[in-house]
A and B are shown apart, each in its own frame.
Chain A
Amino acid sequence: MAGIRDLGVGIGWRSEIDLTVERLPGVDFVEVVAENLHIGHLPESVTLLLERGVPVLPHAVSLSLGSADQVDLRRVEHLGAVAEAVGAPMVSDHVCFVRAGGLDSGHLMPVPRTRDALDVLVANVRLAQRNLPVPLALENVAALLEWPDGELSEGQFLAELVERTDCWLLVDVANLYANARNIGTDPQRFLDEIPLERLAYVHVAGGEQHGDIYHDTHAHAVLPEVLEVLDELCSRVAPPGVLLERDDNYPSDTEIAGELAAIRAVVDKHRD
């Protein structure tokens, strides 16, 4: 896919830290939450970044591609419109569902890893792809539970999804780490099983341990263990891009710059 190679190291653009993102040295690309943007009224900061030539990738959270209900095409159209507005080479969402039976979960819920659920997901992804102007990448989510009667490992599930839809993968190593902590996912096996040649880019984020549960908060510092998962991934493939996601409790500019530098160090280590 032309246009997504060598994205570099980026950061999730959020309105609360827009000036920070603009000023940070070495931000090669940014990601915006598509649902937060309005066509025809892009934030001044996003426009400024586009003028500087910084790629802006829309990231959706509401397509609910894993829902048994058919995907809402208005949401797909909005995502596509945002992609065109920012000239994005690709868009992304999650392998999850966020609504069912008319109710919103308010959370990215994991999809049962069954063949039936995969069929539903594949149908929704294909429908979304037909209505999107650019390629779609799908991200693994952090789960606090595993649905019973799973037939596939997470890696196998994603590999088959890629094979059947030709979608791209957005691997969140923080989610992978969270799943390793909470539900025993083996990151090595996950990375062995997914088609790394279809890797679009990587998410890195922070979290916090509460009792027995590791919470993928995106509001705390990136743990060294998460960077180790990134390191493992980079030892297998050179990711086109790696992006720091922070959604709340934003640290100082200095700390954010430090996290970006740490990510870049891991990426560069394998490029040397």
Chain B
Amino acid sequence: MFNLIARRLLQAIPTLWVVATATFLLLRLAPGGPFDDEKPLAPEIKEQIEAHYGLNLPLHEQYFAFLGNLLKGDFGPSYKYPGWDVQEIIAQAFPVSLELGLWGLLIALSVGIPIGTLAAIKHNTSTETGLMGFAMVGICLPSFVIGPILLLIFSLTLNWFNPLGWSYASDRVLPAVTLGLLYAAYIARLARSGMLDVLRHDYIRTARAKGLAERAVVIRHALRTALYPVVAYLGPAAAGLISGSFVVETIFFIPGLGPFFVNAALNRDYQMVMGTVLFYAVLIILFNLIVDIIQMWMNPRARHD
């Protein structure tokens, strides 16, 4: 176990380095710079500002300065929001996205797994077709469609929830459902195929032959193995869920991290892009590690890997 964690953490270093370097180079290759605007700055002003942020240095010097700061854990100030440091912005916005993402994850799992499992048990029946059709709709409908529809029904018409904001416990419901449904649909499909696969195994036949109730067979024997693909999917999915969704956070006016990811790139806010990209990379690495640990616990064969 410790070996695995240590190995993964060591592997993370070159991964992050590659991500950082690629992002750094891609950003510099993108046309336009952080200080271009509708009314262009006088050249001498632009020079001053660029000198202020060290953007006048040769590219390799900028790169090493950037890596140096990174090692100190310093993402530097945002170009777009002078006065705010990148880590300050992440620290303010991430907890909100984290909470929203965890609620979304909860919904995704508690809707997705039962639907997928049920569909597999009722294989080749109209129940399965209905449930999987529902999941397909979930995958096809983007959140900028689901969100406004939910708002129209539950907020504007029924007046059960506030249409925007993040102040009350009830404000979590609609955004979390919007966010969770998409993932629920994927999870349902994975759970179904996992379950179908497992139900064909000999040990399930044995369990059934012993006279166990079908529910016991499914829950105690099949489910753990059947969820293996779901768990593998959860690593990147959870990282995506908790790092904020541009669409959901914009529709519901939630002060999370999502809009910063997108706007940082559009604004050519180099520091902010580097900060958010690396933050996301760390989250993915972390969650993949957690997933590996969970999978080891689920599957004894993997422990000796």
Q: Do A and B come from one complex?
A: no
The interface of chain A, by Cβ under 8 A from chain B, is none
The interface of chain B, by Cβ under 8 A from chain A, is none
